[in-house]
Each structure stands twice: as structure tokens, then as C-alpha cells.
Amino acid sequence: AQRVTQPEKLLSVFKGAPVELKCNYSYSGSPELFWYVQYSRQRLQLLLRHISRESIKGFTADLNKGETSFHLKKPFAQEEDSAMYYCALGRRALTFGSGTRLQVQP
Amino acid sequence: KAGVTQTPRYLIKTRGQQVTLSCSPISGHRSVSWYQQTPGQGLQFLFEYFSETQRNKGNFPGRFSGRQFSNSRSEMNVSTLELGDSALYLCASSLAEHTGELFFGEGSRLTVL
């Protein structure tokens, strides 16, 4: 069975500090991984997907098949990055991690 | 383009009743998925519909059902409600089936008393 683990429920950093939101997955086969974000009072939205290898709002995520990880990183956190972040795996039906709340303090 | 629209946004039911939730996908999107979100279990996949056919179903009891209409609008139904069915039910649409690139609605928050 596929599984996504986000070990941190809450990550608190100061503005300008680097951010790394951890995501580990369990899947037999070639995984498709995504990061979704939910800002306060907004709907859940796609932030980025591993196949595009793009940077969105300064965030990047690299798939490491050896470590079965897909950590989300940003070199300099901004207050507007404060949100709930979900790592998700799959295509036919997404398996979501439990989410990490990122708090960026001024 | 209008986003995914879910109705009703909030509803309260009692145990044993049944409920129907509605979802209108983004125009042109033919795939609709449903997810249940609870504090304890997080986001869990319920089902996916494409071209009026259920393509995939999550690990939920038969009390949970759904359908999709020819205009891609979808409904999900929960019969014989239990307290544990209290949750936020999220609908998501996508252009194609079997994709993880989903556009979510704001959800229907169901409270079962």
C-alpha cells in the first residue's frame, strides 16, 4: 500500500530563514508526487509536481528515489508562506500526508 | 473561469439520515474526485468519476456512493449517517482522469449529531 509521511505537524521559522518541509513516501513503482498548499481561508491548491521540476513561489522539491523522499525547500521564507502544506502521492487516487503547518514569524 | 463549486457549504444532520452533496467542476473538466477530510484521518480518497463512470473507489463502506452526470457535475451520497461521518467533504476536478493535478472546491462541512 502506498503511504506518505510528513513527520512534522508544525514548523516555525523566522522570516528570511531557510525552510524544508519533509515528505517521505512508500510506493512500489515509479511515483508521482505533488505538494499542495492551503493558505488561511483559501481552498487547497496545487503548489508543484515533481515531474515539472519547476520552482513555484521560490519553492522547489526534488524527488530522491533512494531515500524515498520529496522534501519541499525554500531558501528564504516569507510571512506569506505561512500555510498548511500537504505532500501527495499517486495518480488514480491521491494519498495525502497528514500535513505540516508552516509558520513564518516576522 | 469559475472554480469548483460545492453545495451546500455547511449542513447538520442526525444519525441515520442521509445526505447528498453536489459538485460542479471547472468548465471543461471531465474528471471529478471526492475526498473526506477529518482531523483524525486527514485527507482520504473516496471516489473518482470520469465520463459518468466511476473509475476508482477508496476504502469506504457502501453507504458512500456517488454519480456523475453528462455535464460532468457530480453528487455524492452518504446513507444511514454515523457520527464518524462528520467531516469536510472536498470535491476536486481535473482535465483528465488519473492525474494528481487537482483543482479543489471549498468543501461541504457535514456535522452529524
In chain A, the percentage of residues whose pLDDT exceeds 70 is: 100
| CA-closest candidate to residue B17, choices B97, B67, B78, B99 | B78
Chain B residue numbers with beta carbons less than 8 Å from the beta carbon of A34 are: 100-101
In chain A, the percentage of residues whose pLDDT exceeds 90 is: 79
Q: Which residues of chain B have pLDDT under 70?
A: none
Across the interface, whether the CB atoms of A49 and B100 are under 8 A apart is answered: yes
Instruction: Yes or no: say if A3 and A94 are a contact pair by the CB < 8 Å rule.
Output: no
Query: What pLDDT score was predicted for residue B94?
Result: 92
> For B2-17, what is each residue's pLDDT tens digit?
899 999 999 999 999 9
Query: What pLDDT score was predicted for residue A40?
Result: 95
| CA-closest candidate to residue A3, choices A98, A101, A100, A105 | A98
Residues A68-90 have a mean pLDDT of 96
Q: Which of A45, A46, A93 sits opposite B58 (nearest CB)?
A: A93
In whole angstroms, what is the distance from residue A21 CA to residue B32 CA?
Answer: 29
Residues A1-9 have a mean pLDDT of 94
Q: Which residues does residue B102 pair with via DSSP β-bridges, in sequence order? A: none
Query: What pLDDT score was predicted for residue A29?
Result: 82
Q: What are the DSSP E strand ranges found in chain A?
A: 3-5, 10-14, 19-21, 24-26, 33-38, 45-49, 60-61, 72-74, 83-89, 95-96, 100-105
